[in-house]
Structure 1
Amino acid sequence: MKSMTKLLASAALATATLTGAAMAQDDPFEIGFVYVGATGDYGWTYEHDQGRQAVEEHFGDAVETTFVENVPEGADAERVITQMILGGADMIFTTSFGFMDATNNVAARFPDVYFEHATGYRRDTPNVSTYSSRFYEGRAVIGHIAGHLTETNTIGYIASYPIPEVIRGINSAFLHAREVNPDVEMRVVWVYTWFDPAAEADAAQALIDAGVDVLMQHTDSTAPQTVAQEAGILSFGQASDMIQFAPRPRVASIIDNWSPYYIERVGAAMDGTWESTDTFGGIDTGMVVIGEMTEVIPEDVRASAQAMIDAIGAGEYHPFTGPINRQDGTAWLAEGEVADDATLIGMDFYVEGLTGEIPN
């Protein structure tokens, strides 16, 4: 990995880079990764960094990677991305929804650099691709499990920001919990952060105090796992397996597996076949993986959860299949109708049965 000291020092060579100086054939292909959190969060950023390391392992000396952690989603992101390019980066991965404006702004200034933006939807220029994962598929599975396991009929959900990706997950988990347990209620706490162990721990404790006995999260730290273990309630790992942080109450996890996509896209950029695309991968592509389902889950529930995983992966089942109503009772999907990706990507409403409002 190239150090940031080397990266900043090399900015002095920017003029030669921008005037199109030819890169020697034996020079490594340089790739920058911009992270919203820390690589040690054992969640979202940790898994993206596992993908970066997989790229290094796959391509060896043919590539050189660098990364910057804890980058705020705003003007600082533009500065970091620009520094990477001035330091020689040929390709940039920006790994959070909030980097969307920065990614597209910088891409317009550097048309010869490849940009890959995670979970966004804007591709303003031909050198920008977007990619995301159908996390809602994994949340359907853990919702199914949670609906079977809850004894208080109250499931807790720690939510980060009220963006479509998070709202999809809440809806999917709730629908599949209630499908197997019509008495299930879901309590959602919004923490307005991706990674803040103290805030996440407080949210977990508030949900436990409110009577939840199964905990889900769409935040990145392992703090909720620790709180769940101390309280003796069940929890699901988020983004990575997290089993080492809550081995007893943790029952399964949703794992984000970015490595195959990163290897494929770097390879395409290196061999000249890269094109601007929008990728929305799921269980079928291996981008969404369900971690070990522990013995806390009864054998028949493990079997039914695995059957759902297999059906989703085979394209035989879609987690948003009607009939489904919106929260206000109006029809959304008719019997057998499947949600289209455009609606899912822009989802800004709760489904029927969920209480509370989505904050602005």
Structure 2
Amino acid sequence: MMTMNRILAGAAVALGLATGAFADGHEKTKVGFVYVGPVGDGGWTYEHDQGRLAVEEHFGDAVETVYVESVPEGPDAERVMTQMALGGADLIFTTSFGYMDQTINVAGKFPDVKFEHATGFKQADNVSVYSARFYEGRAVQGHIAGQMTESNIIGYIASFPIPEVIRGINSAYLHAKEVNPDVEFKIVWAYTWFDPAKEAEAATVLIEQGADVILQHTDSTAPQAAAQAAGNVVTFGQASDMAEFAPFPRVSSIIDNWAPYYIARTQAVIDGTWESTSTWDGIAPGMVGIGEITDAVPAEVKASAEAMVESMRSGEYHPFTGPINKQDGSVWLSDGEVADDGTLAGMNFYVEGLTGDIPQ
């Protein structure tokens, strides 16, 4: 539930009166977080909040953190960011793609406040962007899913048709298809990041259509619960480990590890060395983690998936390595060619073999 009590007691935040100072007069660094979902979502927002808590633990009394959860992407986000800045925040992390324009707008009004926007691409002198190479984790999931499906139908619950989500679909499909040429993807667009009822309904629809593996790019554990109720349906944790559903149906997961980044960027503000940067890290630096592959996965599949993780960690393997064609059959990557970051960052097409259109 969104409440300004999450930020500061009383009306201080709206009035911008909070001092955040030590008793000896030294001012604390105040770090704010704007969340698209509740901190208890079990996925995306939960992991961002774990990063916030890591900042508190690392810096102790030198830093104060504040947050607002369940902030819709739109005008309300701009209001929340403005109130955080007025409340004395030195650094504000805005943790959803749909906050991009609002972040830029508010940053323009508060040039002395540093902003960090997750998964976006618009920068300013006081706005950095950061994201994780989730598609690396999707490659591992596709590799496992393609070998565990018996129906050859894999269901995919997609949130919004943005490049991050499209990359994930393509990566999972390519790696499932590589190990199982008969595999088919069925995609349901939920048009939400967090809505347990919608997510459960999407999972149920896909299971009824024959999917015995469910992948998700939404934030709640509702698809895990739906798969567990259905019986023999494989799932993967999204953004967080979702280990309460292990060893089955959840057989592995993508884990977003924001803590080191949040600590480093807070330290840069404290040191006065903060600069606008663009960060896109993956498995190798540890921003993307792969949750335990359980023994529900056949031993040889588990071993090959772990080998894939290590090859990405070492830089030996890139999930988008040609030959790869676009959905219309035109050549995208020739044999051995690796996708460039610019194309991946703006990806707006399916790869060959996927059916259906990307919603506009």
Which amino acid is the alignment partner of residue 291 of structure 2? G
Looking at structure 1, the residues matched to 224 and 153 of structure 2 have their Cα atoms a distance apart, in angstroms, of: 17
Looking at structure 2, the residues matched to 202 and 339 of structure 1 have their Cα atoms a distance apart, in angstroms, of: 35
Residue matched to 2:228: 229
Shift of 1:28: 1.2
Looking at structure 1, the residues matched to 73 and 212 of structure 2 have their Cα atoms a distance apart, in angstroms, of: 34
Is this contact kept in 2: 1:325–1:351, CA < 8 A? yes
Shift of 1:10: 4.3
Residue matched to 1:65: 65
Is this contact kept in 2: 1:137–1:312, CA < 8 A? yes
Shift of 1:11: 3.9
Residue matched to 2:333: 333
Is this contact kept in 2: 1:114–1:128, CA < 8 A? yes
Residue identity (%): 69
Residue matched to 1:181: 180
Select which of 9, 13, 29 maps to 2:12: 9
Is this contact kept in 1: 2:246–2:294, CA < 8 A? no
| 1:249 lines up with 2:249 in the alignment | yes
Is this contact kept in 2: 1:141–1:305, CA < 8 A? yes
Shift of 1:7: 6.8
Looking at structure 1, the residues matched to 188 and 48 of structure 2 have their Cα atoms a distance apart, in angstroms, of: 25
Deviates more, 1:268-277 or 1:130-139: 268-277
Change beyond 3 A, Cα 1:351–1:10 = closer
Residue matched to 1:20: none
Change beyond 3 A, Cα 1:148–1:27 = same
Looking at structure 2, the residues matched to 255 and 262 of structure 1 have their Cα atoms a distance apart, in angstroms, of: 16
Q: SS of 1:239's equivalent?
A: coil
Which amino acid is the alignment partner of residue 349 of structure 1? F
Is this contact kept in 2: 1:281–1:288, CA < 8 A? yes
Mapping of residues 272-291 of structure 1, within 5 Å: 272-291=272-291
Q: SS of 2:238's equivalent?
A: strand
Residue matched to 2:199: 200
Looking at structure 2, the residues matched to 179 and 195 of structure 1 have their Cα atoms a distance apart, in angstroms, of: 31
Shift of 1:298: 1.1
Deviation string, structure 1 residues 11-36 (Cα, Å, up to 9, x no partner)? 4356x99xxxxx98622100110000
Change beyond 3 A, Cα 1:271–1:184 = same
| 1:166 lines up with 2:165 in the alignment | yes
Looking at structure 2, the residues matched to 353 and 226 of structure 1 have their Cα atoms a distance apart, in angstroms, of: 29
Structure 1's unaligned 5+ residue stretches are 18-22
What is the TM-score with the length of structure 2 in the denominator?
0.95
| 1:120 lines up with 2:123 in the alignment | no
Is this contact kept in 2: 1:226–1:246, CA < 8 A? no
Residue matched to 1:310: 310
Looking at structure 2, the residues matched to 195 and 158 of structure 1 have their Cα atoms a distance apart, in angstroms, of: 12
Looking at structure 2, the residues matched to 149 and 133 of structure 1 have their Cα atoms a distance apart, in angstroms, of: 26
Structure 2's unaligned 5+ residue stretches are none
Is this contact kept in 1: 2:155–2:214, CA < 8 A? yes
Q: What's the Cα RMSD here?
A: 1.8
Is this contact kept in 2: 1:167–1:348, CA < 8 A? yes
